[in-house]
Amino acid sequence: MTKRERALLACETLEHIYPEATCALQYEKPYELLVAVRLSAQCTDARVNQVTPKLFKTYPTLEALAQAKIADLEEIVRPCGFYHMKAKSIKEMAGQLLEKYDGKVPDTMEDLLTLSGVGRKTANLILGDVYGKPAIVADTHFIRITGRLGLTNSKDPIQVERDLRPLVPPECSSDFCHRIVWFGRDTCRARKPQCVGCPMSEFCPSFEEKM
């Protein structure tokens, strides 16, 4: 079986298990997703979803975020960890969106990467979820599971993205990434993957090695 065939089977299997491919982070406006992703660095999505309602209620606009007192912003995002750095980049990012992009979240990788705290993972998430463009979000779940499926030999996010782009149909890529995250939490966990009974065991090289 080729990598392409295995990737297509994975797409089909996960679509059946998770017909609704949704982002675990809760948001209403495009820039709120940017903020939520920034807070999610080395923090759980569940914790971020507990913090963002208060954050967005306190600062309901980009202008409010850009003008926020850094100490007040830090206090709200403190539960997400690394709050000094995260508060600083969120405030800077809000200012950049207002000054450079008239308050609109950019729709290109090149422009998104100019924003404070935004890397390729975040940019791909925005391109896929907000603008419906092909996107490979190489987070820890994605890297782990695509590696176990034998779709990549790398743990470098940029290389994993390069490896997977030709394997996953562009129109499925964003949803596939979300489904991988849910699958990683439910079944293919980091420490104790539930290989027995796994719906992808028939074509998973890692399962064959274990058995």
What positions carry a catalytic annotation? Answer: 121, 139
Cα distances from 145 to residues 26, 51, 116, 141, in angstroms, run 24, 28, 29, 6
* Residue 92: half-sphere exposure toward Cβ, Cα within 13 Å: 12
Q: Which has the closest alpha carbon to 6: 164, 154, 184?
A: 164
CA atoms of 150 and 78, how far apart (whole Å): 38
**35 close to 49: Cβ distance less than 8 angstroms:** no
CA atoms of 119 and 20, how far apart (whole Å): 26
**82 close to 75: Cβ distance less than 8 angstroms:** no
